[in-house]
Amino acid sequence: MREAISNLFVEYALVWVFIHVFSAIIWIGGMIMMRFSVMPSLALITDGKVRISKTISIFKSFFRMVVIAIAFIFISAIFMIIGLGFKGSDLYSIVLIKEALLVIMTIAFAYAYTQVNKAERRFVEGDMENAKKHISKVKYAILINLPLSIITIILGITLRGF
């Protein structure tokens, strides 16, 4: 199995690296847009019901993309780790740190995902106060993931030999 993955990586190395980097761009770039552009813009909506409804809708759309991006990041990471022969190399500790950070980021994303789903349920029930509370918790996942994503970018650049 390891040899098959290694061969697939070697044959399609550019594709695997592209998938990995593009998926990271979607996730990280999306978080930056959400935190510094979308969320402040949504805060300008004065009608609380409309603001919560739009926030839930935007997050749900974004999260559908992120789930796919995370899956592609994990899959492409496996191909790169095996294909580039990192296991047992001097750089393997960096790989393990990067993957641990990715797991932490995924857990934080899962937390945000569940908070949006809870907010949606409360919103449908007409409980605007609790819907708002759940939505407000999403920012914590983003605040965790943004600095971790910067660290993973730095580690990824290190692994590519720059």
How many whole angstroms separate alpha carbon 83 and alpha carbon 106?
A: 23
Bigger pLDDT: 129 vs 5: 129
Query: Which letter does DSSP use for residue 86 in this model?
Result: -
Lowest mean pLDDT among 86-90, 134-138, 141-145: 86-90
User: Tell me, what's the pLDDT at 4?
Assistant: 85
53-85: per-residue pLDDT in tens? 999 999 999 999 999 999 999 999 998 999 988
What are the domain boundaries of the chain? 2-159
How many whole angstroms separate alpha carbon 148 and alpha carbon 12?
A: 28
Please give the radius of gyration of the chain, using alpha carbons only, rounded to the nearest integer: 18
Helix (H, G, I), strand (E, B), or coil: what is residue 12?
coil
User: Tell me, what's the pLDDT at 144?
Assistant: 96
